[in-house]
Amino acid sequence: MMWTTKSSKIPNVQIFVNENGEEVVSPIKIGGRYTVYDILSVSGGFGVILKAKDTRLGDRTVLVKARRYDKENGLFSYEKDRSRIDRIEKIRKVTRFEYNCLIDFKTLGEGRIPNVNDIVEDFCPSIYGPHLSTDGKVFVCTDYVAYNEPYIIMQMINGINLGEYLKSGIRNIMLSRNYKFYKSWERDVLQYSLQLATILGGFHKKDKENYNRYYIYQDLKPENIIITDDLFLTLLDFGAMTMVIEDNQGNARSNIEGCGSAGVGTWGYKAPEMNNPSKLAKLDRRVDIYSLGATMYHMLTGENLSLTLKDEYGRIPVDNLKKFSCTEYTYNIVKKCTEYNANERYNDMIEAKNDIYKSFMSIRG
């Protein structure tokens, strides 16, 4: 997606605008060092990945993970809102948790996530405003919180956003890869899915020395994936990640204070139980299994499920895969991953990965 910039009356602030008229405000310079010049991706209305030049390292390109506050429901409804600072600080805990997760996973040797360079605090224009209150008054937030926003600085990832890539349609993708048969594309999708299952399985690996804790990604979808070459993927956005603690009986607890936000995800890709407030405290790895299946469906059909499904309770039309001559083995994998009842899905990523591998080898052979 192409973004253009327009000036703002506020110092050190610029406004990015895409072809749909959507606007994103951003600092021009962050931490006196990083000059923002473009947007790589916008995720779910709340997170944004900026492109910037590191002026201390010869204008080397870096990525900056930022948070949008203009989409937070009711955050700026009233000029004098005593709860606003607490809400913003709670959101910032999630950002710092994301940063710590990235550091931890890199330490464990996961190579398919960005390297983290730094975390810096600076001015946040989407907090500052201007905002329009419910009584029609225009105001700005001069609270100190507007000047202490954490930004995660990451290495630049050269590649194509998978969500944007799929917009061209399966037929055009096959033509660009010189594929005559759909099975060739299905094989590539399975290879991508093996990588995703490996990454997610790493997040799900329990640390028994630390109370059987593991992590769920929650927001797997093509828009959060970068194709760094034709057959290699990198995950991009970790803002929805949350910690799960599981006891020896397998009972999960996912609403741990300061360890992410349970239930964060994208309509069409998040598991049904994530829409049920009574189940948010007990989410487990099967929510990622669901979103893996939803992402596979999107890759195999080119259908954006956020647009295909009528509401967040809609069922994924898995039978559409048959229109694309998808093999029965792959069809069954997507169907099992996306079962409405979590108990009917794969128990873990190891099971899912084994079946994906078998399907891949059957086509490859």
Q: CATH code for 3-155?
A: 3.30.200.20
pLDDT in the model for residue 208 = 63
Topology, domain 160-362: Transferase(Phosphotransferase); domain 1 (1.10.510)
In eight-state DSSP terms, residue 222 is: G
CA distance 335 to 345: 9
Spans of all domains in the chain: 3-155, 160-362
CA distance 48 to 16: 11
What residues pair up with 92 in beta bridges, in sequence order? none
Distances (CA, A) of 15 to 4, 64, 151, 207, 342: 8, 16, 18, 43, 42
CA distance 93 to 260: 8
Say what the pTM is.
Answer: 0.89
Domains 3-155 and 160-362 share a fold: no
For 182, half-sphere exposure in the C-beta direction (CA atoms, 13 angstrom radius) is 15
**Residue 159 has which token pair?**
């590649």
pLDDT in the model for residue 365 = 52
Would you tell me how many other CB atoms lie within 10 Å of the CB of residue 355?
Answer: 18
Coil/strand/helix, residue 6: strand
* Residue entry with tokens 């905002």: 131
pLDDT in the model for residue 249 = 76
pLDDT in the model for residue 47 = 85
pLDDT in the model for residue 209 = 60
Coil/strand/helix, residue 91: helix
Residue 176: burial class (beta carbons within 10 Å; 0-12, 13-18, 19+) = exposed
pLDDT in the model for residue 15 = 97
Distance of alpha carbon 184 from the chain centroid = 27
Torsion of CA 327, 329, 332, 338, to 10 degrees: -90
With beta carbons less than 8 A apart as the criterion, state whether 94 and 159 touch. Answer: no
Nearest residue to 289 (alpha-carbon basis) of 343, 328, 231:
343
DSSP string, 315-339: PP-GGGGGGGT--HHHHHHHHHHT-
Single-letter residue type at 129: G
pLDDT in the model for residue 259 = 86
pLDDT along the chain (365 residues), means of 10: 91 94 95 96 80 97 94 92 92 92 83 89 96 94 90 93 94 96 96 96 78 89 89 88 84 83 90 91 95 98 93 89 94 98 97 98 81
Nearest residue to 160 (alpha-carbon basis) of 41, 305, 295, 26:
41
